[in-house]
Amino acid sequence: MQRQADALRRLGLFLARRLVQSIFVLFGLSILIFTIARVLPGDPARTALGARAPQETVDRLREEMHLNDTLPVQYTYWLGDALRGDFGMSLVTRRSVTTDIAEFLPASLELVIFAGVLTLVGGIALGTLSARYKDSWVDNLIRILSYAGVVTPAFIFAIIFLLVFGLALDWLPSIGRLSEGVPKPPLVTGLITVDALLAGQLATFWDALQHLIMPGVALALGSMAQEARITRATMADNLNKDYIAAERALGIPERVVMGRFLLKPSLIPTISIFALDFAANLANAFLVELIFNWPGISRYGVNAMLRKDLNAITAVILILGVVFILMNIVVDLVVGALDPRIRLRAARSD
Amino acid sequence: MKALSRILLVFMAALLIGSAVSAQDEARSLRITFSWPNYIDPAVGSDFASSTSLANLYDTLVFPMGDGTVSPWLAESWTISDDGLTYTFTLRQGVMFHDGSELLASDVAYSFTRLKEIGEGYAYLLPAATVAASDDTTVSFTLEQPSGLFLPSLVRLYVVNEDLVRANALADGLYGENGDYGKEWLLTHDAGSGPYMVEEFPLAEYLQMAKYDGWWNAASFVPNAADRVRFIGTTETATVRSLMADGELEITDQWQTNEALTALDGLDGVDIKTFPTMTSFYYMMNNRLAPLDDVHCRRAVAYAFNYQQALALEWPGTQQMVGPVPSTVGGHNPDVTVYTRDLDKAREELAQCQYGADIASYPIDVVWIAEVPAEERFALLFQANMADIGLPVNVISNPWLSVVENTSRQETSSHIVTIYVASDLAEAGLMLQQRYHSSTAPTWQQNEWLLDPDLDARIMDALNTADAGERFAKYAELQAYIADLSPSLFLYDQLQKHAVSSRVEWTPEANSPVMGYQFYLPLIGVNS
Amino acid sequence: MAETPLLEVKNLSVSFRVYGGMLRVLDGVNLTVHAGEKVGLVGETGCGKTTTMKTILRVVPQPPAVINSGEIRFKGREVLKMRQRELTDMRGQGISMIFQDPTAALNPVFTVGQQLEAAIRYASAESRRMPRQEVRRRAVRALSEVALADPERLLDSYPAQLSGGMRQRVCIGMALSTEPELLIADEPGTALDVTIQDQVLRLLHRLVEEKHTSVILITHTLGIVRQITDRVYVMYAGSVVEVAPTRRLFAQPSHPYTQGLMAAVPRLSGGGISDGIPGRIPDYMNPPTGCRFHPRCPHAMPVCKRQKPALLAIEDAEHQAACFLYDAPERVRAYQQEGGLT
Amino acid sequence: MLNNASQPDHAVGRSAIDPHRLAQIERRNRRERWGRAWYKFSRNPLSVLGLIMVVTITLMAIFAPFVAPYPQHAEPFTDFANASKPPGGQYLFGTDEIGRDILSRCIFGFRYALVMGVAVLSLVVPVGVLLGLVAGYFQGTIIDTIIMRVTDIFLSVPPLILALAVASVLQPNLTNAMLAVSLMWWPWYTRLVYGLASALRNEYFVVSAETIGAGTGHILFREILPNMVSPILTKMSLDMGWVVIIGSMLSFVGLGVQPPTPGLGTMVAAGARFLPDQWWIAIFPALAIVVVVLGFNLLGDGLRDLFSAEES
């Protein structure tokens, strides 16, 4: 009991320290983005309302956006609003950016989580297979495929899938999150698959899942290949370690040695890279989201950039920053859970 | 391995069951792709997707006809005062909004005020006026000055349900006591009385509308009118192709390349439908930048360009522009100078131009819009043609927002910008105003920078002429004058092209060319 | 000699594939262990002792290792032809091994308990069906046996939390927890300081005596060999060069290499042995032809370069050495007459 | 990760009596080391393939006007009579919708891809490395804190999205795309070098240089920096591929190379409108991207294997 309480206390301390760091980083990030957004030439209020809106409306909006103040003052106003969850109006959708993010982020999360599950399961499975049968044809095949996966941008996969599975074979739906006429589940998490399961709507669940497959796989292949390569390298390395020989020598069955005693120490680099890939996918998915008409946050963000939609740009980047930082904390926790040495070192440094 | 294959098996089975469950329901469904975004607030939307949605969600006082005139619609009749300033409309009775409440004269007045106060979208088309609803069926507008455009522009006054908008307006907004004027709510909802109503609108994906059986003019629905219509927000070639091939799309957007359309035409049960629009493709020359500030140089350019080859790059049937306005608009003058490729004439004009002797040291930039990649080939053709008269050309692509930015000031406006311009109404005068009146010089609608007060006065005079015949005569004169001035290259009138499933019965050419009315849904039939 | 030996290795050759070629590490190793016997295996670092043992258990990583030829029989069954299932059965209960470096031999990301319990759990068909508590109880007992205090707490510790001596004991406890018939102990305690090493060896000795376990003890330390083992194999560069009952080996070391080894005796630990003999262990990529020891051998004859000597009886079959000096006397004369080598 | 192999030589150099002879030995050692390295590298066919690809692409890019069958097609050019010709005899990769030879444009496209990669790395590496060195060497001081916290801020968002944001603010062209990517890329080098430098600063050779009073510049650039050349080189080679991908994504959304200049991403974006029937217009430039990235990845992996093998 004493040890458990101790561990919890250490965990709490660790989290607290990371949170403080994160807040600092986010603060810096917000200044960075705010600066990028405001060096833009032109009047954001005029841009927001269009060339033909009456000048008085534009003036009112300028007032409301504090555009007549100095940049630092503008920043404090902006920060105050942002802290209250108000990022202003989006120029593209013409409504509050917060509403947009609430609508588009879950769609992206669903896609990225699905891709993440594929990445993790597929990457580790392929990597393990490759390491287990090192230098055999299985290994060589997986390695060649991994290379192809790593160097091919996701949007190229997306186009190929669409042409093959959407057009030529017509196996899978091409666009959106649900087919026409399929009832939407009640909104709980915003992830349609999860919400459908929660509501017990199996048909909706399957339909949503089918919509996820093409964009999800297109997005997953790159990181899956990366994970497979890393897993293979670590495993091949660890496979020659004495402890594996020792565990085998003790008569522990191969399946247990591979699946447990080799897997766990080999997962640490894989997990670290995975979490970063996961967060990066959230941002890099825009071409995939575009091709499959997926209403996600990264398509929204890139659209905002192309249309110089400042409020949306700043908000999207901040949100991505938050996700990125959260994932980094998760990595530290998971790696700590996997590797007691790191945990012990952290404990000593307290 | 075994466990894995078992999971896979279950998964595959589930997919099969899933696809069986999600099979189409019985309703007649019409799906069309559009270029996004789609603003369905009547005071905000003005582009193609928005105009099409608004035309179907809302009703207007008058309705645009295929011949360019307007006919009674919500207004059964109207009178115009002798001074041409006051228009009094008598409304049809018993028109119900989608929520079942009755459409009254006060709703019309509210809609007008709201549109003008917000000032976005089509607000600029409607002249300033005071509006008053004297009883439930009578509404009158008093203009500040006579306008020939007022009646035609009423097709852009979409009547909203005042009570519904007020009930859903946010208190906090830019518009004083009106709060946000319901802008946020109207983004994804409608407050109209039109033949279709918003069923579902996930902003980034599609707009789904359902047929409104309580429409006052329900008798006009063709018998096989769609029960459910979905405007899908994508124009990606591969995506559209896949949807069309799978029978998940009835009509494509107008942005597909000729190559894509040819391929779509090859699909079973898909045809290409074309119809003229009020959009024309201009090469806007900066009339204040050497060497294009000399009319002879401009004419030389106009004679050197190979229009026939340009047309050959477009869909068959596309016609060269005749004069400065699309030939679909009312008041178009077919008897103006039309430039065709004639290198002798071009050289003759060049010789008269003050820069003629030294033309090689006056290179010009041609800027095309990066978002419209089809423009590139015309720019490259232009470059090749100008080489024939010794005029060096740089081909440059710029994103739309930069073009908007650069054309807003004379000193940053390039030699030539290549832009498609659509007339908002079927009036030649409106297009002339949009393109050549000084008020539009600081916008992307005019790169010419004519800034000619005399021309401005003549355009305004024509527009304010209430009598249509007289007005059109003035338009004709103006067109001839501008054609001789050769301020721009008049390339071609755009032909709108859609790949259409043979399940669809659609005759857009019979509808008004006013943007949005080609897709007037009550007139489009869908067979299963 | 009629009974089947517990373990019999015949003419085992193993190579390692590396960038640039093959390392021919084992070159025809012969080795026999009888039930209840304690056998020593001595030789310089890198002479192939550990590889031989790992090959016997088939835990040598393949690739890079390649088993070229040879037979390994455990209780009469051919190990090299065993299926995965049989191998797993043989390991642990049949043969178990204490690895050289206890730090490397313990999985750093699992607790001692998780590793030890897995060893106990998968030892036999019966143990697989044991309830958790029983496995735990045996794990505690295994740690108590190797004289570790507070075994309950140790089971929940990670290897990084233990001292070197504790890790070594844990390894011994783990190797014995499966109650093997044959225990291979690869230089136990070399990584520890001398006093602790001594304690550990005493403990090991006591335990195998109690349990009547057969042992192959790999070591550099001839003193330990003398104390514990019944018979000794001497290896050089991938082959056994001499084998004899312990007392006879010490009384009459016969192979020139063994003689050199004995001369170096005062040195206690590994690297020092070669100081007694000039030269270094050969390059396995291009090993010397014939007898691999000939470049370093004070008695080298031309034949040694040509031909690899077989094990020859010194007085009787119990003591053999792989050296042409022990051939029939007339042949030895003939060899010597060929003239000097250097 | 660290290559300490050079250290003994270095130590000998200090106590040398005959510098001439020592220089000779050092030269021979270096030659031998390079020879060994090349031998090891050449044992892995994939690494050699990567090297061959990178060299070929670079040569093709440099000599594009001589290699490309129709060099004028990379400039403003029209030949509508030969528009959208499928791959075949006259045009190996076919022609685009304007009648330009896609093979020629791809070869010129390599130029812009490489220019982008080289320019970005030559901006980013010196800055990133310098900051990382300084922060790592002055670990625990205020300098360290400032540099690394700023680095953290840049690293808290995926680089692509920040590069997009910056590029969208600037005029869209190749130079600005390079600037945008560079602005987001240096922190990755800072972090890498920081980790290496903070490990190296306690090594005996650094400490001994400090005790004999060597200047900070000498320690940073002559003692610490030479020991991290291999990880930096490896990362640079792998990064070339990433920069090419990011550059092509920027071009794809219209923020990079502008037409008619043949940027590979621009060509893919333009060609995507003609899928699937005129597939060659998009697919060959896409393959060209893949080939460049693959080449640098193979090479980078080869280097990494080489350096990590040398260390053990």
Same-domain status, A128 and A227: yes
Least confident of B309-323, C263-277, D16-30: C263-277
B490 or C316, higher pLDDT: B490
In chain C, where are the structural domains located? 7-252
Residue where a domain stops, chosen among A27, A59, A83:
A83
C20 — pLDDT class (breaks 50, 70, 90): low
Q: For C306-324, what is the mean pLDDT?
A: 82
Q: What pLDDT does residue C325 have?
A: 80
Count of beta carbons in the 10 Å neighbourhood of residue B176:
9
pLDDT reported for residue B159? 97
Least confident piece of the model among A205-219, D56-70, D269-283: D269-283
Q: What is the pLDDT of residue D23?
A: 67
Same domain, A51 and A177: no
Q: Is the same domain home to B255 and B337?
A: no
Query: Do B286 and B396 reside in the same domain of the chain?
Result: yes
- Give A1→chain D minimum CA distance, Å: 37
Find chain C residues with C-beta within 8 A of D43's C-beta.
Answer: 19-20
Query: Domains in chain D: how many in total?
Result: 2
**CB-side exposure of C175: number of CA atoms within 13 Å?**
33
Is pLDDT of D62 > 70? Answer: yes
> Looking at the structure, do residues D34 and D65 belong to the same domain, yes or no?
no
Residue B336 lies in a domain: yes
CATH of the domain at D179: 1.10.3720.10
Name the token pair of A16.
Answer: 């607290």
Residues A76 and A215 occupy one common structural domain: no
Please indicate whether residue A188 or residue B209 has the higher confidence score (pLDDT): B209
Whether chains C and B touch (3+ CB pairs under 8 A) is answered by: no
- The more confidently predicted of residues C326 and D190 is D190
Q: Do the Cβ atoms of A94 and B183 come within 8 Å? A: yes
Q: Evaluate whether residue A9 is within a structural domain.
A: no
Q: For chain A, 350 residues long, give each residue's pLDDT as a single digit of tens.
A: 556 677 778 778 888 888 888 888 888 888 888 888 777 666 777 777 776 677 777 888 888 778 888 888 888 988 888 888 888 888 778 888 999 999 899 999 999 999 999 999 999 999 888 888 877 788 888 888 888 888 888 888 888 888 888 777 878 887 888 887 788 888 888 888 888 888 888 888 989 999 999 999 999 998 899 888 888 888 887 887 888 888 888 878 878 888 888 888 888 888 888 877 888 888 888 888 888 889 899 889 888 888 778 888 889 988 888 888 888 888 888 887 877 777 766 655 54
* Contact flag C84-A254 (C-beta cutoff 8 Å): yes
- Is D312 in the B-facing interface, judged by CB distances under 8 Å? no
Contact between chains at C118 and A265 (C-beta distance less than 8 A): no
Same domain for A196 and A113, yes or no, is: yes
Claim to verify: residue A70 and residue A196 sit in the same structural domain: no
Give the per-residue pLDDT at B11: 54
* The pLDDT of residue B24: 45
Residues A159 and A285 both lie in one domain: yes
**pLDDT > 90 in chain D, percent:** 17
Predicted confidence (pLDDT) at residue D262 exceeds the cutoff of 70: yes
Shared-domain flag, residues D24 and D56: no
Same domain, A122 and A74: no
Please indicate if any CB of chain D lies within 8 Å of the CB of A306. Answer: yes
Give the model's pLDDT for residue B57: 97
β-pairing, C38-42 vs C214-219, is parallel
Contact C91 A248 (CB under 8 A): yes
**Are residues B375 and B473 located together in one domain of the fold?**
yes
The reply to whether B118 touches chain A by the CB within 8 Å rule is yes
For C107-166, write each residue's pLDDT tens digit.
Answer: 888 888 888 888 888 877 777 788 888 888 888 887 887 777 787 888 888 887 887 778
Quick one: average pLDDT of B126-146? 93
Looking up residue B470, the CATH number of its domain turns out to be: 3.10.105.10
Exposed, middle or buried, D147 (CB in 10 Å: 0-12/13-18/19+)?
Answer: buried
Q: Where are the alpha helices (DSSP H) in chain A?
A: 2-38, 44-49, 55-64, 71-83, 97-132, 137-151, 154-161, 192-199, 202-239, 242-249, 254-256, 263-284, 286-291, 297-306, 310-338, 340-349
- Regarding beta strands B364-369 and C312-313, do their DSSP bridges make them parallel or antiparallel, or are they unpaired? unpaired
Question: Is B47's pLDDT higher than 80?
Answer: yes
Query: CA nearest A54 in B: which residue?
Result: B119
Domain co-membership, D85 together with D121: yes
Bond from prior residue into D76 cis (ω within 30 degrees of 0): no
User: From CA A230, how far away is CA B101, in angstroms rounded?
Assistant: 65
Is A153 inside a domain boundary? yes
pLDDT tens, B444-493?
A: 889 999 999 999 999 999 998 888 889 999 999 999 999 999 999 999 99
* Whether B186 and B294 share a structural domain: no
According to the per-residue pLDDT averaged within each range, which of A19-23, B199-203, B255-259, D275-279 is highest? Answer: B199-203
pLDDT for position C275: 47
Encode burial over B271-304: b for 16+ CB neighbours within 10 A, e otherwise. Answer: ebbbbbbbbbbbbbbbbbbebbbbbbbbbbbbbb
Give the closest-approach CA distance of D161 to chain A in angstroms. Answer: 6
* pLDDT > 80? residue D4: no
Same domain (yes/no): D165, D250: yes
- Any idea what the CATH number is for the domain that residue A110 is in? 1.10.3720.10
Residue A174 sits in the same domain as residue A133? yes
Same domain, A74 and A102: no
pLDDT at position D7, please? Answer: 38
Answer whether D279 touches B (CB < 8 Å): no
Q: Are B459 and B510 found together in one domain?
A: no
Record: contact B260-D254, CB cut-off 8 A: no
Chain B: give the shortest CA distance to residue D263, in Å: 13
Q: Is residue C258 packed enough to be buried (19+ CB in 10 Å), middle (13-18) or exposed (0-12)?
A: buried
Of residues A171 and D285, more confidence is placed in D285
Q: Is the same domain home to B229 and B98?
A: no
Question: Does residue B13 fall inside a structural domain?
Answer: no
Give partners of A (≥3 CB pairs < 8 A): B, C, D
Q: Which of A83, A117, A134 is the last residue of a domain?
A: A83
Cβ distance of C108 and A339 shorter than 8 Å: yes
Q: Is A339 on the interface with C (CB under 8 A)?
A: yes
Residues 190-209 (A) with a CB less than 8 A from some CB of B: 202-203, 205-207, 209
Contact D276 A163 (CB under 8 A): yes
Same domain, B448 and B354: yes
- With beta carbons less than 8 A apart as the criterion, state whether C25 and C48 touch: yes
The Cα–Cα gap between A206 and A210 comes to 6
Same domain assignment for residues D98 and D246: yes
Is the minimum CB–CB distance between B14 and chain D shorter than 8 Å?
no
Task: Give the domain range for residue B422.
Answer: 277-495
Same domain, D203 and D59: yes
pLDDT on residue C273: 44
Asked if the structure places residue B181 within a domain, the reply is yes
Give the CATH number for residue B223: 3.40.190.10
d(CA C301, CA B496): 100
The verdict on residue B425 lying in a domain is: yes
Q: Which of A293, A263, A297 is nearest to A279 (CA)?
A: A297
Whether A211 contacts chain B with CB within 8 A: no
Assess whether D18 and D117 both reside in one domain: no
Beta-ladder partners of C242: C234, C321
- The number of folded domains in chain B is 3
The reply to whether A298 touches chain D by the CB within 8 Å rule is yes
D19-44 pLDDT per residue, tens: 676 667 767 776 777 777 777 777 77
Same-domain pairing of B147 and B200:
no
User: Residues of B with CB below 8 A from A207's CB?
Assistant: 18, 21-22
pLDDT of residue B7 exceeding 60, the answer is no
Write down the architecture of domain C7-252 according to CATH: 3-Layer(aba) Sandwich (3.40)
pLDDT for position B231: 95
What are the residues facing B140 on neighbouring strands?
B88, B132
Q: Which of residues 119-138 of B touch A (CB under 8 A)?
A: 119-121, 123-124
> Which chain A residue is nearest to residue D167, measuring alpha carbons?
A305
Domain of residue A76 covers 19-83
Asked if the model's pLDDT at residue D112 lies above 50, the reply is yes
Chains A and C form CB pairs within 8 A to the count of 105
Domain with residue B157: its CATH number is: 3.90.76.10
Do A168 and A289 lie in a common domain? yes
D154 interface with A at CB cutoff 8 Å: yes
In a domain, A192, yes or no: yes
Partner residue facing B257 (CB), from D76, D258, D274: D274
D132-to-A276, D151, D190, D221, D303 alpha-carbon distances in Å:
21, 9, 4, 12, 22
Q: Does A210 touch chain B (CB under 8 A)?
A: yes
**Alpha carbon of C22: minimum distance to chain D alpha carbons (Å):** 14
Residue B251 in this model has a pLDDT that exceeds 90? yes
Asked if pLDDT for residue B13 goes beyond 70, the answer is: no
The pLDDT, as a whole number, for residue D8 is: 39
CA distance D271 to chain B (A): 10
> In chain B, what residues touch D97 (CB-CB under 8 Å)?
257, 259, 377
Residues D173, D28, single domain; the answer is no
Element containing residue B420 per DSSP (H, E)? strand B416-422
pLDDT in tens, D131-176: 999 998 888 888 888 998 889 888 888 788 888 888 888 877 888 8
Residue B52 lies in a domain: no
Of A135, A249, A252, the CB nearest to C118: A252
Mark whether A101 and A78 lie in a shared domain: no
Q: Can you list the alpha helix ranges (DSSP code H) found in B375-528?
A: 375-387, 400-407, 428-436, 453-463, 468-485
Among residues A27, A51, A83, which one ends one of the domains?
Answer: A83
Domain boundary among B134, B165, B196: B165
Check CB contact under 8 Å for A256 and C118: yes
For D283, the closest chain A residue by CA position comes to: A156
CB atoms within 10 A of CB C337: 9
How far apart are alpha carbons B32 and B251 in whole angstroms?
A: 5
- Residues 259-288 of chain A with CB under 8 A from chain D are 279-280, 282-284, 286-287
Q: Beta strand pairing status for B206-211 and B196-200?
A: antiparallel
Do B438 and B370 lie in one domain? The reply is yes
Q: Do residues B478 and B354 share a domain?
A: yes
Neighbours of C333 (CB within 10 A): 10
B–A touching, 3+ CB–CB pairs within 8 Å: yes
List the subunits that have 3+ CB pairs under 8 angstroms with D. Answer: A, B, C
pLDDT band at C279 (very low <50, low <70, confident <90, very high): low
Taking contacts as CB-CB distances below 8 angstroms, the residues of chain D near A20 are none
Q: How many CB atoms lie within 10 A of CB D272?
A: 22
pLDDT at C341: 47
Distance, in Å, from the CA atom of A113 to the CA atom of B512, rounded to the nearest integer, reads 48
- Please state the domain count of chain A: 2
Q: Which domain range does residue D28 map to?
A: 1-43
Partner-chain residue, chosen from A242, A246, A250, that has the shortest CB–CB distance to C178: A250
CA distances (Å), B528 to each of A181, B25, B201, B223, B228, in order? 16, 11, 25, 13, 13
Q: Are residues B507 and B441 in the same domain?
A: no
Mean pLDDT of D216-245: 85
Helix (H/G/I), strand (E/B), else coil: B172: coil
Determine which of A165-174, B283-292, B338-347, C33-42 has the lowest per-residue pLDDT on average: A165-174
Residues 6+ apart with CB under 8 A from A136: none
Question: Does some domain include residue B85?
Answer: yes
Which residues of chain D does A153 touch, with a Cβ-Cβ cutoff of 8 Å?
245, 248-249, 286, 289
Phi and psi (nearest 5°) for C243? -140, 140
Q: Are residues B477 and B369 in the same domain?
A: yes
